[in-house]
A and B are shown apart, each in its own frame.
Chain A
Amino acid sequence: GENVEQHPSTLSVQEGDSAVIKCTYSDSASNYFPWYKQELGKGPQLIIDIRSNVGEKKDQRIAVTLNKTAKHFSLHITETQPEDSAVYFCAASEPSNTGKLIFGQGTTLQVKP
């Protein structure tokens, strides 16, 4: 089955700097890769996603890149702000008709003011 690895587990940056979180997946048939942000005591919220027919997607300060050949995808946050501090999860959709997501272990991002 699908396996997703996420790095780093923790990331600390200064406000205004960029943050990059990387994930790898094992099943080349996976075709959907969402990123979720989870704040303390809350459920995960989708912040951006990418499908396997594109290589990059941007939404304001957030971008995701996908390298299907290498089975890598990354989250890029520019001009980080203290409110970006949270746990970020990458996921890959298992190639079946259920759409169930296989999640990485999470990255705790701390943005220092």
Chain B
Amino acid sequence: GAGVSQSPSNKVTEKGKDVELRCDPISGHTALYWYRQRLGQGLEFLIYFQGNSAPDKSGLPSDRFSAERTGESVSTLTIQRTQQEDSAVYLCASSLGGGSKNIQYFGAGTRLSVL
């Protein structure tokens, strides 16, 4: 598997619970992005990691959202005290480096349903 891998593929949770979503980028890709896709909508940028630089968190919608990345490998997106409006597909992408000269490759996403 040379592509971006995300787990779980589906997650159903109850309102108020915390959830953790995982992304394994393509090996060697130093840049990693999280996006959110609400039903029937385009993708919204959430957060960007590049190497050891401070992440760009400008897209996180509230302080209930946070993400971490270990070095240049796996990343986890955590949503605390989930709300129904958090229901969406969460997509991860990786690229060889940051900036617009590198293509972003997407995983299949995690579909989150908050009941």
Show the binding face of A for B, using Cβ within 8 Å: 4, 6, 31-32, 34, 36, 41-46, 49, 89, 91, 93, 95, 97-106
Q: Select B103's contact among A4, A34, A97, A106, beta carbons within 8 Å.
A: A34
B106 pairs with A98, CB closer than 8 A: no
A46 pairs with B99, CB closer than 8 A: no
User: Can you give 28 A-B contacts (C-beta < 8 A)?
Assistant: A32-B100, A32-B101, A34-B103, A34-B104, A36-B106, A43-B4, A43-B109, A44-B106, A45-B106, A46-B103, A46-B105, A89-B43, A91-B43, A93-B100, A95-B100, A97-B99, A98-B50, A98-B99, A99-B31, A99-B48, A99-B101, A99-B102, A100-B59, A101-B104, A103-B44, A104-B42, A105-B42, A106-B41
- Other than A97-B99, A101-B35, A103-B44, give 5 A-B pairs with Cβ distance below 8 A: A42-B108, A43-B108, A100-B59, A104-B42, A106-B41
Show the binding face of B for A, using Cβ within 8 Å: 4, 31, 33, 35, 40-45, 48, 50, 56, 59, 91, 95, 98-109
User: Given the complex, which residues of B lie within 8 Å of A105, measured CB to CB?
Assistant: 41-42
User: Given the complex, which residues of B lie within 8 Å of A41, measured CB to CB?
Assistant: 108
Report Cα–Cα, A16/B50, bound state, in Å.
43
User: Given the complex, which residues of A lie within 8 Å of B33, measured CB to CB?
Assistant: 100-101
User: Given the complex, which residues of B lie within 8 Å of A32, measured CB to CB?
Assistant: 100-101
Q: Select B100's contact among A43, A44, A99, A103, beta carbons within 8 Å.
A: A99
Report Cα–Cα, A102/B42, bound state, in Å.
9
Which residue on chain A has the smallest CB distance to residue B89?
A43
Report Cα–Cα, A49/B33, bound state, in Å.
18
A6 pairs with B4, CB closer than 8 A: no
Report Cα–Cα, A6/B98, bound state, in Å.
25
A103 pairs with B108, CB closer than 8 A: no
A106 pairs with B42, CB closer than 8 A: yes
Q: Select A43's contact among B31, B48, B91, beta carbons within 8 Å.
A: B91
With A44-B91, A93-B100: A102-B106 Cβ-Cβ less than 8 Å:
no
